[in-house]
Structure 1
Amino acid sequence: MTLGVSEAPSPNDGLPAEHLAETAEAKQIEGRSLGKIAFARLRRDKIAIISAVVILLIIAVALLAPLIVKLNGFPPDQFNKLDADGNPLLNTRDGGIPIGGLFGSGSSAEHWLGVEPQNGRDVFSRLVYGTRVSLLVALGGTIIAVVLGTVIGMVAGYFGGWVDTLLSRLMDIMLSFPSLLFVMALTPVIASRGQDLLGIPDDNKLRMGVLMFVLGFFGWAYLARIVRGQTLSLREREFVEAARSLGAGPGYVIFKQLLPNLLPTLLVYTTLLIPGNITAEAALSFLGVGIKEPTASWGRMISDASDWIESNPLYLFFPGMALFITVLAFNLLGDSVRDALDPRAGRG
């Protein structure tokens, strides 16, 4: 006679299916990190998804600008006086106003968004290349500001004492500067002197580098103050004390222990600083101290379009709308990232 081995009863036997599902879900939630929780929140946030898609499309346009303009067939710096049938695009008797098109913009099957007054350059091509310039300057300035602000803030908060006092006074001095006035005064001077010293023929390439440096140099102090405050709190935590007791040096503690805990703050600040730098670049180009002709820039296009607002309103509308959509998308994404990383928010 063969004796069967009885199976031990499962601890879940007799429990309803709903309870089992809730228990499994609770275990899954308990195992998620803060990053996974934040990503899950972002995926449920429709505004964040739409903003991210818009930003990715804008970045794709900037990266693929030469290919897009090649498909369009009109380089951004090419003067166009005649259309494909040999008809004039501009009314020379009225100062070069575009002929025909929507609201007198000269738009057609060839020039989708019309042409510029006086010279006939394709607005679509210049708008696409302006995306590349505006994003490049904004991202470069943001990277410089974030790197400077993070390093200086962590050093001040971790070491304390006279180091903290010295760096904190430096932050106060930088925050007291009227940054826009200094940027307007320094950018053309540095660009012209640098062009003479380096022998760079293209002034706008150097101007883009100067704009990145100046925007980053005047934009790090606010972040440094935030990082300093959080570092003062983190340096007293148990994991930092444990690292010190094991013989870890300041460099290891700062970059291996403190920096990972500051990444959420840095990510939120970066997403909010980029649109500010985009607007600053457009304002500087509009005022004539940023990107100059013939390089396309949204601020440069808005500045040129201000003289033709009555005869060709779409010339101002397209770069203005591109600037508005880009800044709005970054701001909305920054707000969503900040809410997703907030530990006080509900995790349901």
Structure 2
Amino acid sequence: MSQPTQEDEVLAQQAAHGGTFPASAPEAKGMSQGQIVRKRFFGHTGALVGLAVFIIIFLLAFTSVGWAFIPGWWKYSHLDVSPLVNDGAPTSSLWPLAWGEHPFGQDRIGRDLFAMTMRGAQQSVIIMLIIGAIAGMIGAVVGGLAGYFRGWVEAILMRLTDIIIIIPVLLLAAVVAQMASRRDEGSWFSGFAASNGVLVLGIFLGLVSWVGLARLVRGEFLTLREREFVDAARISGASNARIIFKHILPNAVGVLIVNVTLTMSAAILLETALSYLGVGVKSPDTSLGLLISQNQEAFATRPWLFWFPGLFIVLICLSINFIGDGLRDAFDPRQKKFKARTAVETARHSSTTTALAAEAPKGS
């Protein structure tokens, strides 16, 4: 016969004491919602590592080569051309530890790869944030309304979602890129896109990246709207807006956040693919995908031109995924770690206290 596990022992002691579970009380006792979320997030090791990596990349990218009208501390920009040093190979080394003139190396015409990689990381982060904001907002609104109101509202919104799903993103991106590259004076779009290419690309990808999120949010709302606490809110006279934002959305925020972060990390890969195919960020500006595309023929002779842009793509995507995982665990009220040892000790202490309290009148 198999031995009972620690969780079985805790459940047995819980049943012996009237179904109470004292181990769960100290975690939330005397703590606000924000304090509980912060405690759970900062207790998630993967999320903290991802957050630290993303902050380092963000600060390094936006302070090194500057952004907008703010100058950077690095001496080269992504457009500067200088004589080749060390035949364009990276001048940095781990032993002895050295940074050198061009730590990431140079391309064939002498541009500093560190400056270009930092500029590409800037573009990727900006596009990622724009896509996350637009896709998250549209997906949450469309999916929430469809899942809560059902009927004709759901039919219209879901058919709109189906239409956008079947549109090939690559084909539509090529059309937008062609419109943006037009030089006729009557095209206001080409003038706007020429000076705001990253913004245009981020808005476009955000407007076509919300469909999967909308379907997931709709499914979550369909489940939650039938729960007892929603029925209780309706009976008490709560409005639809209060039920959606006060009761249902906090319980669906875990699904929403983790899928927004997945959309953001996928957006970087999508932007990389579009830039690689020539319909994303265009020269003289640069992005991580465009760097890989421009140097694909030099892979055998100058592999460092791929190493560093590819490394930053991987680091950004992984850090965003880890952050999303931590936020999901922090915001979802149904997420709770089961600490078997603490639960057993607390249950045994409760059992001892109860036994002493029961024996006290006999000795008096």
| Superposed pair shares fold, TM > 0.5 | yes
- Asked if residue 292 in structure 1 is aligned to residue 292 in structure 2, the reply is no
Alpha-carbon offset, residue 200 of structure 1: 6.2
The one-letter code of the counterpart of 1:46 is T
Alpha-carbon offset, residue 54 of structure 1: 0.3
State how far apart, in whole Å, the 2-side matches of 1:122 and 1:327 are: 24
1:216-272 C-alpha deviation (Å, 9 max, x unpaired): 122111111111122222223344344444554433433343333322222111221
**SS of 2:76's equivalent?**
coil
Instruction: Tell me what 1:53 maps to.
Output: 52
Whether the 8 Å CA contact 1:204–1:291 is kept in 2: the answer is: no
Whether the 8 Å CA contact 1:187–1:207 is kept in 2: the answer is: no
Whether the 8 Å CA contact 2:275–2:290 is kept in 1: the answer is: yes
- Asked if residue 343 in structure 1 is aligned to residue 331 in structure 2, the reply is no
Distance 1:24 1:258, change over 3 A: closer
1:198-209 to 2 correspondence within 5 Å?
A: 198=188, 203-209=193-199
2:87 to 66, 83, 99: 99
Whether the 8 Å CA contact 2:281–2:287 is kept in 1: the answer is: yes
State how far apart, in whole Å, the 2-side matches of 1:140 and 1:78 are: 28
Under a length normalisation based on structure 1, what TM-score does the superposition of the two structures give? 0.77
Instruction: Tell me what 2:307 maps to.
Output: 317
Instruction: Tell me what 2:222 maps to.
Output: 232
The one-letter code of the counterpart of 2:250 is P
- Asked if residue 187 in structure 1 is aligned to residue 176 in structure 2, the reply is yes
1:28 to 26, 29, 47: 26
Distance 1:199 1:222, change over 3 A: closer
The one-letter code of the counterpart of 1:168 is M
Instruction: Tell me what 2:16 maps to.
Output: none
The one-letter code of the counterpart of 1:74 is Y
Higher relative contact order (CA 8 A, sep 6+): 2
Distance 1:138 1:204, change over 3 A: farther
Alpha-carbon offset, residue 138 of structure 1: 1.3
The one-letter code of the counterpart of 1:185 is A
Alpha-carbon offset, residue 147 of structure 1: 0.8
Whether the 8 Å CA contact 2:62–2:118 is kept in 1: the answer is: no
Distance 1:250 1:37, change over 3 A: closer
Distance 1:166 1:216, change over 3 A: same
- Asked if residue 72 in structure 1 is aligned to residue 74 in structure 2, the reply is yes
- Asked if residue 272 in structure 1 is aligned to residue 262 in structure 2, the reply is yes
Whether the 8 Å CA contact 1:281–1:290 is kept in 2: the answer is: yes
Alpha-carbon offset, residue 278 of structure 1: 0.7
Distance 1:331 1:290, change over 3 A: same
The one-letter code of the counterpart of 1:260 is P
2:100 to 82, 87, 109: 109
Alpha-carbon offset, residue 338 of structure 1: 3.8
**SS of 1:322's equivalent?**
helix
Instruction: Tell me what 1:305 maps to.
Output: 295
**SS of 2:73's equivalent?**
helix
Provide the alpha-carbon RMSD of the alignment.
3.2
Out of 304-313 and 254-263, give the one that drifted further: 254-263
Instruction: Tell me what 1:166 maps to.
Output: 156
State how far apart, in whole Å, the 1-side matches of 2:187 and 2:64 are: 31
The one-letter code of the counterpart of 2:115 is S
State how far apart, in whole Å, the 1-side matches of 2:204 and 2:183 are: 14
Alpha-carbon offset, residue 40 of structure 1: 3.8
Q: Which runs of 5+ in 2 are unaligned?
A: 1-20, 92-97, 340-364
Whether the 8 Å CA contact 1:208–1:291 is kept in 2: the answer is: yes
Alpha-carbon offset, residue 297 of structure 1: 0.8
Whether the 8 Å CA contact 2:265–2:317 is kept in 1: the answer is: yes
What is the count of residue pairs matched by the alignment?
Answer: 308
The one-letter code of the counterpart of 2:76 is F
Distance 1:323 1:154, change over 3 A: same
Runs of 4+ aligned residues of structure 1 deviating over 6 Å after TM superposition are none
Q: Which runs of 5+ in 1 are unaligned?
A: 1-22, 83-88, 91-97
State how far apart, in whole Å, the 2-side matches of 1:243 and 1:301 are: 54
**Same amino acid, percent of matched pairs:** 34
Out of 261-270 and 243-252, give the one that drifted further: 243-252
Whether the 8 Å CA contact 1:191–1:206 is kept in 2: the answer is: no
Alpha-carbon offset, residue 291 of structure 1: 0.5
Alpha-carbon offset, residue 45 of structure 1: 3.5
Distance 1:115 1:152, change over 3 A: same
Whether the 8 Å CA contact 2:78–2:116 is kept in 1: the answer is: yes
State how far apart, in whole Å, the 2-side matches of 1:202 and 1:159 are: 39
State how far apart, in whole Å, the 1-side matches of 2:43 and 2:241 are: 38
Distance 1:259 1:100, change over 3 A: closer
State how far apart, in whole Å, the 2-side matches of 1:166 and 1:241 are: 26
1:82-161 to 2 correspondence within 5 Å?
A: 82=83, 89=84, 99=87, 101-102=89-90, 109-118=100-109, 120-161=110-151
State how far apart, in whole Å, the 2-side matches of 1:260 and 1:339 are: 13
Whether the 8 Å CA contact 1:141–1:213 is kept in 2: the answer is: yes
State how far apart, in whole Å, the 1-side matches of 2:320 and 2:302 are: 29
**SS of 1:143's equivalent?**
helix
